[in-house]
Amino acid sequence: MKAFKQVMSWVIPVVIGLLIAFLIRAFVLQPVRVDGPSMLPNLQNNERVITWKQAKIHRGSVVVFDANGVDPQVSQKTYYVKRVIGLPGDTVEAKNGKLYVNGKLVRQSYINKYQRKEGTGNWTLKSISVQNSWLKNSGTTKVPAGEYFVLGDHRSVSNDSRYYGFVPKSKLLGVVHVGFWSGNQTKKSNVNDEWKHYFQAN
């Protein structure tokens, strides 16, 4: 009996610890590894970030989502990291590298002028939905209810909503947060805080 109590004295804390870790990972936060160059210069390939599952999603938030069922080229669970450009009900268009959401100019200081102009292009939701043969919402002019329009920061190489359409809320894992371990304060702010000043000031 004494031996049993001794065993349980360390088994129970371990089980409780594992349960807490599981609950945190399932409902609060999850570490994610960035794969590929589509979020350069703000997130590097193989960079480790934290995903907050309960964080509110804003225009300008960087999010993680499961591309399976969103991108037709993906057939298994695959996490993409992109930036939210349009919320449900928004109109989105690009003119000469400038982004407009609901007719308002988006502040894009988180990427350089080349990425804005050469990588972004000229389009509306309607034009890219037809041009890229979206499987859903072809010809739409607004982001549908419960869905989001996302772009990579390095748009000339990013596979994003321009090509496969909107991301349903059910596919979102959470909002990306770059932790204290990142030594570049500008890039960290471009990921963590850009949503706070999304539109260009008049």
At residue 2, the pLDDT reads 63
Annotated active-site residue in 5, 9, 38, 104: 38
Per residue of the chain (202 residues), what is the pLDDT tens digit? Answer: 666 566 556 555 555 554 444 444 444 478 888 999 999 999 999 998 899 998 999 999 999 999 999 999 999 999 999 999 999 999 999 998 899 999 999 999 999 888 888 888 899 999 999 999 998 999 999 999 999 999 999 999 999 999 999 999 999 999 999 876 666 889 999 999 999 999 987 5
Answer yes or no: 5 catalytic.
Answer: no
Decide: 164 and 134 in contact? Cβ < 8 Å: yes
DSSP 73-141: T--S--EEEEEEEE-TT--EEEETTEEEETTEEBP-TTS-HHHHHHHH-SEEHHHHHHHTT-SSSTT-S
DSSP 8-class letter at 50: E
Answer yes or no: 109 catalytic.
Answer: no
What domains lie within the chain, and their CATH numbers?
30-196 (2.10.109.10)
Annotated active-site residue in 82, 129, 158, 161: 82
At residue 91, the pLDDT reads 98
At residue 117, the pLDDT reads 82
pTM recorded for the entire structure: 0.86
At residue 22, the pLDDT reads 45
At residue 179, the pLDDT reads 76
